[in-house]
Amino acid sequence: MLVSAKEMLTKAKAGKYAVGQFNINNLEWTKSILLTAQELNSPVILGVSEGAGKYMCGYKTIVGMVNGMLEELNITVPVALHLDHGSYDGALACIEAGFSSVMFDGSHYPIDENVAKTTELVKICNEKGISIEAEVGSIGGEEDGVVGAGECADPDECKMIADLGVTMLAAGIGNIHGKYPENWAGLSFETLDAVQQKTGDMPLVLHGGTGIPADMIQKAISLGVSKINVNTECQLAFQEATRKYIEAGKDLEGKGFDPRKLLAPGAEAIKATVKEKMELFGSVGKA
Ligand code: 13P
């Protein structure tokens, strides 16, 4: 059964480790992440962007697929199904479809509007026992065609949003989605520290988990980050494994064309990436 992310993140914050959110894009991706979480006895959050939601034939299809896998694969570790960077309408649609967690990304609205919309969604999520993530200070890079500059959040605005009763808070600390440019200034631990001081026990979320050096990840966890999002790294691993398979001409061997064989190396590569991240984040054995 899908669970809200609240309990796993409260435990992570108290235990000074982070739960990974791994974004899913298809069936193979989802299965690889769930099998790895179960093998490592780690809690996990499956992230779904609105674009991936459309690609996978809508939120109801995804809920059906994930619930089916939990049963068929005998997954017993805590699993949350979470909307990533949701719009207000997207969050409502996911709540309706059976997601156990949503993110409302109101960071591009003026703070008053972010507060108003987050407040409404907090009320609905609380009634249904669904966890909710809010964002302050936009995360840089490109996410579903939306390019942000990577700001540092205002700690007072973070407190304002945290006080609305959200489950977890994503605060921009110079992190960006996708690969980091050569001249990236690194995470602003000063901002993170100030946000953590203002928001106390609130689990903080680090987006853009791809390519952040291990020491920075560990420092961020020590300063209150208890959820880390990873997407691009799984995509790159999948792409590289598939490319090698095609270049070796293996897709042309045998009779006919078998999509299951073509996707298998990518699925294995995702397992390896997820394992590496769970070990780095310290969530292994914490289910
Ligand atoms: P990356 O694609 O940089 O791993 O970021 C993922 C993310 O933050 C999803 O919200």
Q: What is the pLDDT of residue 5?
A: 98
Is 104 in contact with 117 (CB distance < 8 Å)?
yes
Task: State the chain's mean pLDDT as an integer.
Answer: 93
Rounded to whole angstroms, how far apart are CA atoms 130 and 34?
A: 20
pLDDT for the residue numbered 252:
67
Please give the distance, rounded to the nearest whole angstrom, from the Cα atom of residue 209 to the centre of ligand 1.
6
Looking at ligand 1, which atom is closest to the CA of residue 139? 8
Is the pLDDT assigned to residue 144 strictly greater than 60? no
Which amino acid, residue 77? V
Tell me the pLDDT tens digit for each residue of 10-26: 999 999 999 999 999 99
Say how many Å lie between the CA of residue 60 and the centre of ligand 1. 23
**Which fold, 6-232+270-281?**
TIM Barrel (3.20.20)
**157, two tokens:** 């605005």
User: Is residue 122 pLDDT above 80, yes or no?
Assistant: yes
Does the structure show a pLDDT above 50 at 287?
yes
Which pLDDT does position 142 carry in this prediction? 62
The predicted pLDDT at position 160 comes to 93
pLDDT bracket for residue 255 (50, 70, 90): low
Sequence-ordered strand ranges (E) for the chain: 19-23, 44-49, 79-86, 101-104, 131-136, 141-143, 146-148, 168-171, 204-206, 225-230
Distance 68 CA to ligand 1 centre (A): 26
Is residue 253 over pLDDT 80?
Answer: no
- The number of the ligand 1 atom at minimal distance from the alpha carbon of 178 is 3
Find the mean pLDDT for residues 42-52: 98
User: CB of 100 closer than 6 A to ligand 1?
Assistant: no
68 CB neighbour count, 10 Å cutoff: 11
Q: Which amino acid is at 225?
A: V
Residues 107, 136: contact at Cβ < 8 Å? yes
What pLDDT was estimated at residue 182?
82
Say if residue 95's pLDDT is above 80: yes
Report the atom number in ligand 1 closest to the C-alpha of 177: 3
Structure confidence at residue 147 (pLDDT):
47
Residue 143 scores a pLDDT above 70: no
Report the residue among 173, 204, 207 best suited for mutation to probe ligand 1: largest number of ligand atoms under 8 A from its CB.
207
Tell me what pLDDT residue 258 has. Answer: 82
- Between 266 and 137, name the one with better pLDDT: 266
Q: Which of 24, 175, 205, 231 to mutate to test the pocket of ligand 1 (most atoms within 8 A of CB)?
A: 231
- The CB of 52 under 6 Å from ligand 1? The reply is no
Answer whether residue 281 shows pLDDT above 50.
yes
What average pLDDT does the segment 50-58 reach?
Answer: 98
So which residues are the catalytic ones? Answer: 84
Pocket probe mutation, ligand 1, options 168, 177, 234, 235, max atoms within 8 Å of Cβ: 177
The pLDDT assigned to 159 comes to 95
> Is pLDDT of 106 > 50?
yes
Closest C-alpha to ligand 1, atom 1: 208
pLDDT tens digit string along 162-199? Answer: 999 999 999 999 998 888 888 888 999 999 999 999 99
Is residue 154 in contact with ligand 1, taking CB distance under 6 Å? no
Binning pLDDT at 50, 70 and 90, where does residue 118 land?
very high
- Show me where the domains of the chain are located: 6-232+270-281
Average pLDDT over residues 157-166: 95
Supply the residue whose CA is at minimum distance from atom 9 of ligand 1: 229
| CB of 177 shorter than 6 A to ligand 1 | yes
Q: Assess contact for 209 and 237: CB atoms under 8 A.
A: no
Its pTM surpasses 0.85: yes
CA of residue 250 to ligand 1 center, whole Å? 31
Q: Is 118 in the pocket of ligand 1 (CB under 6 A)?
A: no
| Residue 75 pLDDT > 80 | yes
